[in-house]
Structures are given as structure tokens and as C-alpha cells.
Amino acid sequence: MIRDVTIDNGAVSFRFVLTTPACPVKEQLEHQAREVVAAIPGVKQVTVKMEAQVPQGRGIPEKAGIPGVRNIIAVSSGKGGVGKSTVAVNLAVALAQTGARVGLLDTDVYGPNVPIMMGVIEEPRVRGNKIIPREAHGVKFMSIGLINRGDKPVIMRGPMLHGVVQQFLRDVEWGELDYLVVDMPPGTGDVQLSLAQLVPVSGAVLVTTPQEVALADVRKAFNMFKQVGIPVFGIVENMSYFTHPNIPEPIYIFGQGGGEKMAKQFETVFLGEIPLSIEVREGGDSGVPVVVGYPQSTQAKAFQAIAERLAAQVSVAAMASPELPELNLGG
């Protein structure tokens, strides 16, 4: 969208507003805009200011969601051990690297790994009746791991879990966010239903590994999101292959192509695949995500490309779906 066009003695300036800062053709659009305007007779100078305004997800009225949060993205899987938190963290940071305002909410109450992966474990501050989220790598984040620290286990039943999720959504001062990425716990249980009931989720990203035992559980997660009226933006396949410096071909340790086949089966987008690597593991352990610590690596570029595709899916869904679907929480 072109805005604020000014013409002064042959000098033309305007704002080119995109629907996402992660637009993969941003530079091409800027170049083409300059060329087209410069070709107009009488134009001596062209100034283009590239900006982004992320649309609010699915026509969500402000009072129905979290004030200031334009899109809520659930990152989920049907089972543990597929690298869901690793994907959530790196996608959140990759989106922030494009210039988007991003938050990350860790709702994996029983295994809150986000503080370690983000490199910040200090308790959050409280201002008035609001919790101030921690911030790292350009992302605001909140996790029960910041509050319940050490080796003390979290022992909660359904109603308590619902209360924790509600508090993190309503009582955290998230501010203005283009995307709130929610790292979900594995499975299809209480937290997933609480999120669907409490706030209008823009859509979900499903994380899997190539082997059938992971794919079988992700199918259940897909059907759960369908049942509660949350669209699936796409599927990410993690630990897709391993590369060895002395072997030219990728090694498919866990099988090949399972995520892409499932995306075709469910008629959703295959967002991409992430290689299995030491760099990704080191980034999670050290609190420096691979997109920050090794930004030019194959793994970081894979996360960055997936973040761009995800941002595009969010924008398309927001522009195409003015109404929120009715939730069906029945059996």
C-alpha cells in the first residue's frame, strides 16, 4: 500500500507499507517502485520509505484479544522430543530480526525450557498489577520457569493450569506486538483448550520430525486445532537430516519427507525443514539461538525462511478471514 505521497519541484517521496516486515521480496518491491516513479517525466528524485503494518489476525476485535497484540501464533506438536521449543524460540527471534514486534509465551508448564534457550532466568518484575516480561534477542518473553526456578517440580491439575495460562495472557504487560508466539506443551490437553477458550488464536504451527511415531501424534494435534476452530498455518519438519563434512549427501537419520507428505494430506503449507545439527543444540543450551549465534549457517537460514513464510501466511489469513470461527469444544 502506498501512503503519504508528496511532490515538491520534481522530488517525489512516499511510504510503501507492507503487511509484514518479513516480506521476502521487500528489496525488489522498493527497487521496482523507484524505477516506475523515476520513469515519470519531470521526476528528478525518488525517496521511498519501506514500512510494515501487520494486520490484526482474523478480524479480532480489540476487546476479544490481548490489548496491543495483533496476532497469536501457537507452536504445537502432538508429542514431546521433536524440538518444538527450539522451533518456537528461533521463529520468534527470526521474526524480531525482520523488525517485527514479537513476544514469546512459554505455556509448557511442566517443562518450561524457554528461559534457558533465551539466556535469561531472572524473575520478572511487577509494576502495579502487571507482570513485566523479560526480554532477550529483541523478544519479550514470559515463562513459569522464570518464577518456579531450580529443580522444584510443577504439580498442577486442569483448573490450575487454566489459571496460569489466563494470568500469563491477561496479566503480563505485553505492550504492542505484531506476533505473540506461544510455545505449547506436547499433546492435546488442558493448556491447548484453555488457549482456545481464552483468546482468539490467529493460527497454529505444527512441529514434527520425519518418522511415523511423531507424525501419528501430529495428526491428532491437527485434528484438535480443527475441532476448536483454529487454522493451521503450516507444518515444520525438525531434525530432517544430518550433514557430515566428509559425506556429500544428506543423511536422513529419522526418515525422509514425512512432514511434507503430511502437509499435502491435510492441504496445509509445508513451511520448511530444519537440519539436525550441533549448532542448534549449542544455541539452546547457551541461551543464544542459532539465528543469533550462527546467522549465516544453513540452520539459521532455514529458520529465517520459515519465519518469512509464516509471516506471509499470517498476513494472508488476516486479510482473508474477517470473522472468527465459532469454537466447537464438544466431543
Question: What 3-state class would DSSP assign to 281?
Answer: helix
Mapped onto helix, strand or coil, the DSSP state of residue 15 is: strand
- Residue 231 covered by a domain: yes
Pick the closest to residue 107 from 151, 173, 178, 163 (CA basis). Answer: 163
Looking at the fold, whether 197 and 85 belong to one and the same domain comes out as yes
CATH number of the CATH domain containing 13: 3.30.300.130
Do 30 and 139 sit in the same domain of this protein? no
Residue 244 near residue 275 (C-beta atoms within 8 A): no
Same domain, 239 and 170: yes
Question: Binding site: what residues are annotated?
Answer: 78-85
Other CB atoms within 10 A of residue 295 CB: 14
Q: Looking at the structure, do residues 112 and 222 belong to the same domain, yes or no?
A: yes
- Please state the residue numbers annotated as binding site for ATP: 78-85
| pLDDT for the residue 152 | 62
In whole angstroms, give the CA distance from residue 287 to residue 114. 9
> What beta strand segments (E) does 192-301 contain?
203-208, 232-237, 242-244, 247-251, 270-273
Q: Is residue 156 part of a domain?
A: yes
Tell me which residue of 246, 239, 236 sits closest to 278, measured CA to CA: 239
By the 8 A CB rule, do 286 and 119 touch? yes
Question: Does one domain contain both 183 and 36?
Answer: no
Enter the C-alpha cell of residue 27: 528489496
Question: Is residue 326 in a domain?
Answer: no
Domain that holds residue 247: 69-320
Going by C-beta distance under 8 Å and a sequence separation of 6 or more, which residues neighbour residue 160?
none
**Do 41 and 132 belong to one domain?**
no
Would residue 259 be called left, alpha or beta, if left means φ above 0 and alpha means ψ between -120 and 50 degrees? alpha
* Contact by Cβ (8 Å): 139, 128: no
The pLDDT score that the predictor gives to residue 37 is 85
In contact, 178 and 145? CB cutoff 8 Å: no
- Cα–Cα distances in Å, from 40 out to 35, 44, 81? 9, 9, 58
| 145 touches 42 (CB < 8 A) | no
Q: What is the CATH number of the domain that holds 233?
A: 3.40.50.300
Same domain assignment for residues 215 and 260: yes
pLDDT at 155: 59
273 and 248 part of one domain: yes
User: Which triple of cell numbers denotes residue 109?
Assistant: 508448564
| 244 shares its domain with 140 | yes
Domain count, the chain: 2
Please indicate, yes or no, whether residues 96 and 147 belong to a single structural domain of this protein.
yes
Q: DSSP class of residue 176? A: S
CA distances from 317 to 172, 178, 198 (A): 26, 14, 20
Residue 63 forms part of a structural domain: no
What's at 46, amino acid-wise?
V
pTM: 0.80
pLDDT of the chain, 331 residues: tens digit per residue: 788 888 888 888 888 888 777 676 677 788 888 888 888 888 888 888 887 777 665 545 443 578 899 999 999 987 788 999 999 999 999 999 999 999 999 988 878 899 999 999 999 999 998 999 999 999 999 998 898 766 666 655 656 777 888 888 889 999 999 999 999 888 767 777 788 888 889 999 999 999 888 888 888 889 989 988 899 999 999 999 998 888 888 999 998 989 999 999 999 999 999 999 999 999 999 999 999 999 999 999 999 999 999 999 998 887 775 554 444 444 4
